[in-house]
Amino acid sequence: MPDPFTPIEKKPSKFLRLIPFLVLWVAMSVGVGFVAANYIEDILIVQYIGMGAFVLLGIWWFMVSWRLRHLWVGDLQDFMVQNKMVPYDFIKLKNIAPWSLSRNKGRLLRASAAEYRALMDKVKDSNQTLEKYVGTSVSAKAAKKAMNSELGGELRRVYVLFSDVRGFTRMTEQLKAEETVEILNSMFTAMEDVITSSGGDINKYIGDAILAYFRRPYGNETDAAKSVLRTALRMQDKFELLNSKYKVAYSHPVDIGLGIGITAGEAIMGNLGSSNRMEFTLIGDTVNFSSRLCGIAKHGQILVNEEMAHIVEHDFEMMALPAVQIKGKSGMYTPHAVIRERLTMSR
């Protein structure tokens, strides 16, 4: 299969071999005309010579033009074979006769088109598979920068959302393995629909947890922050609908909940790992803080940091919880629980 990133190999053309023949053809034409004009006085003989020369030159030109086309097809075939633009089992064309030139040229081009189509189908399948693992936006970036993929990252303004299932360990002890997997997959599918439809990206699934992020604009960011909190509220609503089905659909009653933590801040976004295996991810205090808020959130709760609460304080009803010690951070922090959006029907 052709490698799209392999440089095209260039090879000198065979047309250069025809230069002596072309020079000879021109010399013969000029010579015949010169001899006929200066040394033959009988006009009838000159006419016969001219007619004969015309016929011979016509035959000569036919042979030269056919040879040109023959070498062109040969060069095209060598180029395609050397650069793997035709299937590996393609039978190389040899001794192309004048009456089969067009047919063989068409056969060569059809083989190349079929190989290109097979390559594009393979690339499409690979991209679709990659999207299932890293998401559509990350896959698109990786495709655009395939030749420049390297380790490193940059600081970005983001909203980080962490969600985690409450009672997951107990559920896995009671249910069959395939039932646990089915519940997780259905929940992840529903949560992904809610997050991506709001402009967010899922960075990864961590066991029963989801790490997602949203772009945080500069300047007036109220609308963006409101969209993130609406996403979290819809996630809780969606989870409640699924949870009502989980309770009666499996071998044991399922009693689980969902906690969500959201932070506004900055995070390092980029490729981490080794030169042989890397992962696009987010790291930093904003990500860790979101995980810690999610960890202390009870079923149905959405906890945000003070920066996020300040941005949307006029648009959402929130309740400041008692200050707590966050693991890995010094000092006390006040989480804010999101109750509902103002001027809207209560959830």
Spatial distance between the Cα atoms of 203 and 280, rounded to a whole number of angstroms: 8
Q: Where are the domains of the chain?
A: 14-131, 151-341
Place of tokens 């004969």: 52
φ, ψ for residue 122, nearest 5 deg? -70, -40
Q: Residue 181: its pLDDT value, please?
A: 92
Single pTM value for the model: 0.62
C-beta atoms surrounding 174 within 10 Å:
14
Query: Which helix H or strand E contains 331, and what residues bound it?
Result: none
Domain 151-341: homologous superfamily in CATH: Nucleotide cyclase, GGDEF domain (3.30.70.1230)
Place of tokens 């030139």: 101
Q: What is the pLDDT along the chain (347 residues), one digit of tens a residue?
A: 444 444 444 455 555 565 666 677 677 766 766 666 665 555 666 566 667 666 766 776 666 666 666 666 676 677 777 777 776 666 666 656 555 666 666 777 777 777 777 777 777 776 666 665 555 555 555 555 554 456 667 899 999 999 999 999 989 998 899 999 999 999 999 999 999 999 999 999 998 999 999 999 988 899 999 999 999 999 999 999 998 888 877 888 888 999 999 999 999 988 887 777 777 888 999 999 999 999 999 999 999 999 999 999 999 999 999 988 888 777 889 999 999 998 754 44
Q: In whole angstroms, what separates CA 174 from the centre of its chain?
A: 40
- Crossing angle of helices 43-82 and 19-38, in 10° steps, is 170
Q: From its phi and psi, is residue 84 left (phi > 0), alpha (psi between -120 and 50) or beta?
A: left
Distances (CA, A) of 315 to 58, 100, 293: 88, 77, 21
Q: Residue 36: its pLDDT value, please?
A: 60
Q: Residue 1: its pLDDT value, please?
A: 43
Q: Are 273 and 282 in contact, with CB atoms under 8 Å apart? A: no
In sequence order, which ranges of the chain are alpha helices (DSSP H)?
19-38, 43-82, 101-134, 136-144, 168-174, 177-197, 222-249, 285-296, 306-311
**Which is nearest to 224 in space by CA: 248, 241, 199, 246?**
199
Q: Are 216 and 159 in contact, with CB atoms under 8 Å apart? A: yes
